[in-house]
Amino acid sequence: TIKNKELSDDDLNYICKLKTLKSLTLKNNELESIPDGINELTNLNQLSVTDNKLKEVPTEISNLKELSLRDLSNNCFACETAISIDDKIKKGYCSTTVEFCSPLQGCQSEFGTCSTGRCGKLYGSCPEGQCCSKKGYCGTTSGYCSIGNECQPKYGKCVEGRCGANWGKCPSSQYCSKKGYCGTSSSFCSTSKGCQSKYGICK
């Protein structure tokens, strides 16, 4: 966190080299733009650039695929007085950021491209019958649907009771059978019958 006008150009250059950085707050530093190098922070999942002088929603952050929380409030977007992201969306501004492209946030599909196939806090739920993956994508394979792979049940269906390389681990005290099902019976737990010790307990 760097705030209250403490940010220097050297600081910005240094920050852009922190490839493993996951959270960044640049509050009240009179920033008029975000450096191009910010799009190199591919692990960033939280970004707050509030109370600055940004006049446009930064395109540099649209390529940060892990970014789930963006706060750009209290800046100077396209007008003399500050205008919030919500107001820009409602008033028909164009952008490529998640706040603009999400149908849940009011994206107008008749006038531009809205995100499809995404899910989660900013995007909402998947279509019926689809699962929402850990990273916020809709799908129907184990990579999307497995509880072991952190499927998000709030935004789509999830599959319990499966295990293995594609599904992840069983709950504690359960066995993972040869065919990739979790259970507690002898048909699941015997190593001689193919019980998978990497994904559950075996006997």
Q: What is the mean pLDDT of each run of 10 residues along the chain (203 residues)?
A: 65 84 86 80 86 74 78 67 48 54 64 74 84 90 84 90 84 88 83 89 87
Query: How much is the pLDDT for 56?
Result: 73
User: Assign residue 9 a region: left if phi > 0, alpha if psi is -120 to 50, beta otherwise?
Assistant: alpha
Contact 60, 34 (CB under 8 A): yes
Query: How much is the pLDDT for 26?
Result: 85
What is the Cα 118 distance to its own chain's centre? Answer: 10
Rounded to whole angstroms, the Cα distance separating 31 from 15 reads 15
Classify domain 9-71 by CATH number: 3.80.10.10
Return the CATH class of domain 117-159: alpha beta
9 is written with which tokens? Answer: 């150009």
Among 11, 32, 170, 80, residue whose Cα is nearest residue 24: 11
Query: How much is the pLDDT for 105?
Result: 59
Rounded to whole angstroms, the Cα distance separating 170 from 137 reads 23
Find the angle CA(178)-CA(181)-CA(184) to the nearest 5 degrees.
95
Query: How much is the pLDDT for 72?
Result: 79
For the chain, the domains span 9-71, 85-113, 117-159, 162-202
Beta-carbon contacts of residue 201 (< 8 Å; ≥ 6 apart): 173, 174, 175, 189
Query: How much is the pLDDT for 152?
Result: 93
Beta-carbon contacts of residue 140 (< 8 Å; ≥ 6 apart): 129, 130, 131
Among 57, 29, 48, 70, residue whose Cα is nearest residue 11: 29
Among 119, 165, 122, 123, residue whose Cα is nearest residue 142: 165
* Number of residues that this document lists for the chain: 203
Contact 117, 124 (CB under 8 A): no
Tell me the whole-structure pTM to 2 decimals: 0.41
Contact 103, 114 (CB under 8 A): yes
